[in-house]
Amino acid sequence: MVVFSHANWRKPTIRTLDRPSIFLAGALTALIILWAFFFFSTINSPPNNTCNCNQPDPAFNLQFDPPVSTFYDDPSFGYTLNKPITNWDKKREIWLTLHPSFKPRSRDRVLIVTGSRSTPCKSPTGDHFLLKFYRNKVDYCRIHGYDIFYNNVLLDRNMPSCWAKIPTVRAAMVAHPEAEWIWWLDEDAAFTDMEFKIPFEKYEGYNFVVHGWPKEVYEKKSWLGLNAGSFLIRNCQWSLDFLDSWADMGPRSKNYDKWADVLLNVFHHESDDQTALGYLLLKDHQKWYGKKMLIETGYYLEGYWVVIVDTLKNITERYLEIETSAGMLRRRHAEKVSERYGVLREPLLKDAGNEFGSWRRPFVTHFAGCQPCNGKHNPLFTAKGCRDAMNKALNFADNQVLRNYGFVHRNLSDPSVVSPLPFDYPA
206 dihedral zone (left: phi>0; alpha: psi -120 to 50; beta): beta
Q: Is 94 helix (H, G, I), strand (E, B) or coil?
A: helix
Q: Which is nearer to ligand NAG, 113 or 309 (CB)?
A: 309
* Alpha carbon distance 388, 391 (integer Å): 5
- The candidate with the shortest Cα–Cα distance to 173, out of 251, 82, 109, is 109
21 forms part of the interface with ligand NAG (CB under 6 A): no
Considering the complex, what minimum distance in angstroms separates the CB of residue 336 from ligand NAG?
32
Amino acid (1-letter code) at residue 257: D
Binding piece for ligand NAG, criterion CB under 6 A, among 115-123, 125-133, 310-318, 371-379: 310-318
- Residues 368, 288 contacting (CB under 8 angstroms): no
Binding piece for ligand NAG, criterion CB under 6 A, among 218-226, 308-316, 326-334, 340-348: 308-316
Q: Which is nearer to ligand NAG, 253 or 311 (CB)?
A: 311
- Residues 403, 331 contacting (CB under 8 angstroms): no
Q: Which is nearer to ligand NAG, 74 or 414 (CB)?
A: 414
Amino acid (1-letter code) at residue 258: K
Binding piece for ligand NAG, criterion CB under 6 A, among 13-21, 105-113, 323-331, 408-416: 408-416
**In this chain, which of 311, 316, 354, 358 binds ligand NAG, going by CB under 6 A?**
311
Considering the complex, what minimum distance in angstroms separates the CB of residue 211 from ligand NAG?
21
321 forms part of the interface with ligand NAG (CB under 6 A): no
414 forms part of the interface with ligand NAG (CB under 6 A): yes
The burial of 33, by beta-carbon neighbours within 10 Å (0-12 exposed, 13-18 middle, 19 or more buried), is given as: exposed
- Residues 85, 174 contacting (CB under 8 angstroms): yes
Q: Which is nearer to ligand NAG, 80 or 413 (CB)?
A: 413
Contacts of residue 94, Cβ cutoff 8 Å, sequence gap at least 6:
70
**In this chain, which of 314, 374, 378, 419 binds ligand NAG, going by CB under 6 A?**
314
89 forms part of the interface with ligand NAG (CB under 6 A): no
Cα angle vertex 366, ends 364, 372, to 5°?
A: 135
Q: Could you tell me the sign of the dihedral formed by the alpha carbons of 211, 214, 215, 221, in that order?
A: positive
- Residues 251, 297 contacting (CB under 8 angstroms): no
**In this chain, which of 21, 86, 152, 413 binds ligand NAG, going by CB under 6 A?**
413
378 forms part of the interface with ligand NAG (CB under 6 A): no
Considering the complex, what minimum distance in angstroms separates the CB of residue 356 from ligand NAG?
11
310 forms part of the interface with ligand NAG (CB under 6 A): yes
Binding piece for ligand NAG, criterion CB under 6 A, among 16-24, 270-278, 344-352, 407-415: 407-415
Q: Catalog residues that contact ligand NAG under the rule CB under 6 A.
A: 310-311, 314, 411, 413-414
